[in-house]
Structure 1
Amino acid sequence: MRHTRRAPASCKATRPARDTASADTNLLRELHWSPTALGIVMGAGGAGGILGALVWQPLERRWGPGPVMLGALSLNPLAQIPLVLVGPGLGGQIAVGIGMVIQTGAAVCHGGLQRAVRQELAPDELQGRAQATGAWLAFSLRPFAALAAGGLGTWLGLHLTLTLITVALVIPFLVLWNSPVRDMRTVAPAALTVTEEPANP
């Protein structure tokens, strides 16, 4: 039994944050996953996060922060595709599990690197403001995104909503591609103000 367009919504609220409760409901009820299978697949996403945390610094040293962040963002919509296409059964569980490993790993890789870049580029007196701004942008929009995704799921159906959300995950990549970050190979320290002088060796 495959999920139909009349099924309840399961959606991503932010990059890569899927509305987990809705996704779990979809996987359990519509695709008939067992709770054990769901737990194993969700755990695979955690393993991907650990992997992303381990590799982002070596990748940054090799290719630079810009290409690594772009690469991580490009993986996000690709890793979402299995959730849109899979049906019930072991094959679908493996596909979603692999997608979650890739997606969570890419998200942690991008997140760690963008924080490091922000800390290097922002002057000391603006570190707190930069952190607060990033947190506000990341978390304050989640309720509105979840509400919009739930409305679309009710109006358009599960499959089409997931497809639209997957396509929308390309937007962060396009924004970053059209920014100076694309050509960033090294991170220069924040410039000294007129009242600061470099320390003596």
Structure 2
Amino acid sequence: MVVAAAGLGGVAGACAAPRVVRRIGIGPAAITGFLWFSLPLLLVPLADGPAPLIIVVLVTAQLGSGCGVAVLDIASNSYLLAVIPETLRSRVMGVVQTANFGVRPIGAVLAGTLGTALGLRPTLWIGTASAVLSVLWVIASGVRHIRELPENAAQRREEHEEAGV
């Protein structure tokens, strides 16, 4: 039930993403998705008490997080696809995916080490707080100023392809 909530959140986020992007712009939508993805995870270390309450808290966290990651992925990937020349797209996206999935084993080892040394709940707080704070580098970047896809993105792609880049 908890894992399914993330999927339902993802569907909700995918449905909401176009409206969010139109309303606040593509960069702010990516930042909003980043926050929607990480902030609900702060509920995870708070999950305590009777089993039904824990399930409700975890379902809520996964629902919100799933929604946020869908908005984040749709906004950021739309931008990347608009600005990356078609001839480079597979390589660039391969690097993005390698970075995204490649750090996960490192995080798992670090979390296991911290969990052993500090305990489960403190480790959950460190992980979720770190996820929320990681949005700061995105907010500090120029992403927040991007309102729409570049008008000439298609033209730039064609020029790159003609130049053989």
TM-score band (shorter)?
0.7 to 0.9
Count how many residue pairs are aligned between Structure 1 and Structure 2: 158
Deviations 1:171-201 (A, max 9, x none): 43111111111111011043253785xxxxx
Q: Please tell me the root mean square deviation across aligned C-alpha atoms, in Å.
A: 1.8
Greater helix fraction, Structure 1 or Structure 2: 2
**Distance in 2 separating the partners of 1:73 and 1:103:** 9
| Equivalent in 125, 142, 145 of residue 87 of structure 2 | 125
Residues 195 and 170 of structure 1, relative CA distance in 2, 3 Å threshold: closer
In the other structure, the counterpart of 1:193 is 159
**Amino acid of the structure 1 residue aligned with 2:102:** S
- 3-state SS of paired residue (2:82): helix
Of the candidates 48, 73, 76, which is equivalent to residue 87 of structure 1?
48
**1:19-44 deviation line (CA, Å, top 9, x unaligned):** xxxxxxxxxxxxxxxxxxxxx22222
CA contact (8 A) 2:2 2:59 kept: yes
Alpha carbons 1:84, 1:162 under 8 Å: kept: yes
Residues 83 and 129 of structure 1, relative CA distance in 2, 3 Å threshold: same
Match status 1:111 vs 2:77? no
Normalising by the residue count of structure 2, what TM-score does the alignment of the two structures yield?
A: 0.88
Unaligned stretches of 5+ residues in structure 1: 1-39, 197-201
Question: Unpaired segments of 5 or more residues in structure 2?
Answer: none
- Partners of 1:185 and 1:103 lie apart in 2 by 23
1:122-151 deviations in whole A, cap 9, x for unaligned?
112211121111111111111111011111
Alignment CA distance shift 1:176-1:61 (3 Å): same
Runs of 4+ deviating beyond 6 Å: none
Alignment partner, residue 66 of structure 1: 27
Amino acid at match of 1:56: A
Query: TM-score, structure 1 length as denominator?
Result: 0.73
Secondary structure of 2:135's counterpart equals: helix
Identity %: 25
**Whole-Å Cα distance in 1 between the matches of residues 61 and 160 of structure 2?**
49
Kindly tell me: are residues 194 and 75 of structure 1, through their superposed partners in 2, closer, same or farther at Cα, counting changes over 3 Å? Answer: closer
